Structure formats: C-alpha cells, structure tokens
A and B are shown apart, each in its own frame.
Chain A
Amino acid sequence: MYGNTYIELSDKAKSLLEGEDPQKLAEFEARIAAGEKIEPKDWMPKAYRKQLIRMIEQHAHSEIVGALPEGTWITRAPGFRRKLALMAKVQDEVGHAQLLYSAAETLGKTRENMLNDLINGKSKYSNVFNYPALTWADTAIISWLIDAGAIINQVTNSKGSYGPYCRALERICSEESFHLKYGHDNVVFLATGTPQQREMVQEALNRWWQPIMHFHGPPDKISDHTEILMRWKVKMATNDDMRERFLDEYVPKIWDLGLTIPDQKLKKNEKTGKWEYTEPDWEEFKRVINGDGPCNKERLQVRRWAVERGAWVRRALIKADSKYTVPLA
C-alpha cells in the first residue's frame, strides 16, 4: 500500500556519474529513453542501484510497519465481516512487503540486512505510520485515504525503469483496489450513520489530514540530481505533482460526504487549475521521521520482538548446506 519515499537530494549531481564508463552509461540511458526496462543482471550506474535499493527497501518497510496501526484494530473490529476484511488487508500489506524485499534483493542487498537496518533505525519507512489509529474511524480513514495516496504513487512508479520493481508494483496496485473500496465503504458507513459515528469519522479526518498532506513528501528542490533521477526513471513525478493528483481525485469525494477538511485555505484555483492549501508543518514531518513521533519507538520494538521470537523457528529449519542466491527477477 504505502509507497512513498523521500529522496533527500544533494546538489552533487556530478557525483552520481563519477567513475562510470561513458559508453555503458550512454547505452543504459538510451535503453531507458526507448522505454525498455532494466533487469537485475544488466549493467547499471552505481548511483542508480543505490537509489533504487533505498527506495524499494523503504517502500517494503512501509508495508510491514503499515500493517501495525490497522492490525491493532483486528481484535476490536465492529462485526465479523469487517474483521475478516481487515485481516485480509493486513495480510496483503505484509505480502506486499515480501514482494518488495524480493525486488530490492535483486539489486544485491540481502533481506536480513534490510530488516536489520529497519530495526536499528538506519532506513526509514513512511512517516504516517508513526501516528496512532486512535479509533475505528482512524482505520477507515487510513484504509481509504492513505491507501489512495499510496496507489497514486505506486501507479506512477510502476512506469519506472527497473523491471522487478515495476512488476511488483503492478501486482500490488491490483490488490490494493480492494483496500480502497473497503476503506471508502467504512468511511461512508460512519459518515452516513448516527451523529456519534459522524463525529467520530470527522475527528479521525481532522487527526489524519496533516499526515495525509505529508504523505507524498516535502516539495522537491529541483536540482540536476533530480533531473538525472527523472531521466533514469527512478523518480517519476515530483512530490507536489503527486499531492496535486491526490487532491484532485479525493477532495471532492470527501466533500461529497459533507465532511469538513481542516484547512480553510483549501480550494482549487479555477484559473491555474491548481490546489491552494496551507503548507503542512514540514518541521514536524522532519522531527517525526527522525524518530520523535508518537509511535516510532513502539513500531520498531514490536518488529524487533517479532523477529526475536521467531528466531528459533528460522534457525531450527535451516540446513548446513544452504547457500544464499540473489533472486533472478
């Protein structure tokens, strides 16, 4: 579900290309320009490999950590059908993490190393999962609007240049259509229900609006670095473009339900065709992503607990002659 990655860009664009064979680089760029995909065994610039590992790994972590805030509500889901649906959704998210870890592995980082880096805080995951799902209505808002944001991002990235990542994303997007429908259904049920239910979903929307606006990341600094990543089809759209697409598609649907979005400035400028809104607090975003959010500590501790508790099973099954092989595709 949760594919948003923050590429922190430096302006050292030249260093991206340093030491690369000019002829191989030209062939590589020509292949991408022709719309062909890059496959794991192909030659690729070091910076391309590094950036992709980072992106795909963060995306995988987001799936696995993203299962936690909603997973909290499985035992307390209102009604059996919703419980089953939520379990299926959470299972999907963990399954998506598996697909993405595999795609990142084809670039040469082992799954063990990725999981260690997650637990030790070296690699990040989507910032929104550092916030709690305080009520059932929060899970409805997450399933609908966070998944919607993620789908916009993932559909965009599935047109990228790295074959294994694109294939994983296509599969993920087709499974997520159920999440979106399920989340929308839950929000509609609450918004058209009793006054208390309506109030509950409005409050959840108020809590989640800022994380939702944070979701696609801060406005990009346009640098040579960004240009190269876009030319290599690693980055497929600016963060602002994706936020714009999200607002275009979902703000009207929220308004359809008579819900209030907690931003009085929010409106579409008919002349420019662009949305106007209050910039979300990017200082808070940075603070939370660097560890100081309401749930960061709990999320990683829960992951670590799961890894440590499962260790004996994994070790009991491993055979002495096992040998790791980088997956093919």
Chain B
Amino acid sequence: MKKSIDPRINRLDLPENKDGKEILHALEEWETYEVFHQKKRGDQHIHTGIVHAANPELALIMAKEAFGRRRQTANLWVVRSKDVTASLYEDADIFLTTPEKTYREASDYYCMDRIRKYQQEHGIKDRKEDRRKKKESD
C-alpha cells in the first residue's frame, strides 16, 4: 500500500481487506435504547433518538455523547426499545372521538348573548360597557 500522509496510520499494522469476512456479528453493537431528553427542569422529557449500549448505565453515557454534547440538557432518560409498548398507527381511528365531543371544549360554551339580553330587559348595567366603548373609540 502507498504510504499514508497520516503518520499515525503508518504506525498501524493495517489488516488486509480482501477476504470478504463478516467481521461484525449479530448483537455486537448491543441492544437499542430509546433516548428522552429534557432541556431544562420543568420541561417534558421528549423522545430524541436511539443509542446502542450493553446496559442502561452505558446507554446513558452514549446518550450524553450523542444528544447532550451541544444543546442545553437538564436530564436524560434511556429505555430499552423492547420495553416500549406502542399503539398502532393503523388503529389511529381510536383517537377520532373528539369531533362529537365538543362539550369537552371550553370554546363550545358562550352565554354572553343571553346575559346581555337579560341585562337589557331588566335594566342591569353592563359592567364592561364603558371599557368596551373606550376601546372602540381608541
């Protein structure tokens, strides 16, 4: 081989690379862990990616290198991928119950019209009338 321009590489005893051998075997990169990142105290932990590691403690170290080396980080969680139970995207219709449940939404309640009508009929002064008029004239 031609001499490398990197003196460190010239010092290595580099292997031949023509045998086509599979040099990595199954699971040599270990199990996968899902990483959850919390930016600052009080924030939610948010899924941010995965790492491979031999155990949870090492997974945390890997996660710190992969996801905590640049941005602000308060806390990390790692969870074995195999321990996560997820809903199925095909079953997304189970979440489709909201349209007929508008009674759960604050925005579905409006009774000011009734109050004003009642106040007008019974000569009760609208507390907010002055403020409203001022706002309109501004």
Contact = CB atoms under 8 A, between A and B. Distances in A.
A102 B54 contact: no
Interface in A67-124: 72, 75, 91, 95, 98-99, 102, 105, 110-113, 115-116, 119-120
Contact of A324 (B12, B27, B86): B27
Nearest to A133: B5
A329 B46 CA distance: 12
B6 A325 contact: no
Nearest to A303: B17
Contacts of B81: 325-328
B88 interface: yes
Contact of B28 (A98, A304, A311): A311
Contact of B52 (A42, A111, A175, A307): A111
Contacts of A91: 65, 69
B26 interface: yes
A175 B49 CA distance: 15
A9 interface: no
Contacts of A175: 70
A324 B24 contact: no
Interface string B26-55: 111111101000000000000101111011
Interface string A293-329: 0100110111011011001001101110011111111
Contacts, number: 129
Per DSSP, chain A at the interface is helix
B82 interface: yes
A41 interface: yes
A126 to B, nearest CB: 19
B1 A298 contact: yes
A73 to B, nearest CB: 8
A41 B91 CA distance: 12
B66 A95 contact: yes
Nearest to B5: A132
B66 A302 contact: no
Given A111-B29, A314-B30, A318-B54, A95 B49 contact: no
A304 B49 contact: no
A112 B65 contact: no
B24 A98 contact: no
Contact of A317 (B6, B30, B49): B30
A305 B12 CA distance: 9
A76 to B, nearest CB: 9
A322 B30 contact: yes
Interface of A: 39, 41-42, 72, 75, 91, 95, 98-99, 102, 105, 110-113, 115-116, 119-120, 132-134, 167-168, 171, 175, 294, 297-298, 300-302, 304-305, 307-308, 311, 314-315, 317-319, 322-329
Given A95-B66, A133-B5, A322-B31, 4 more contacts: A105-B32, A116-B24, A305-B12, A314-B54
26 contacts: A75-B7, A95-B65, A99-B49, A99-B66, A102-B49, A112-B29, A115-B24, A132-B5, A304-B23, A305-B12, A305-B14, A314-B28, A315-B28, A317-B54, A319-B54, A322-B27, A322-B54, A324-B26, A324-B31, A324-B32, A325-B80, A325-B82, A326-B81, A328-B84, A329-B47, A329-B50
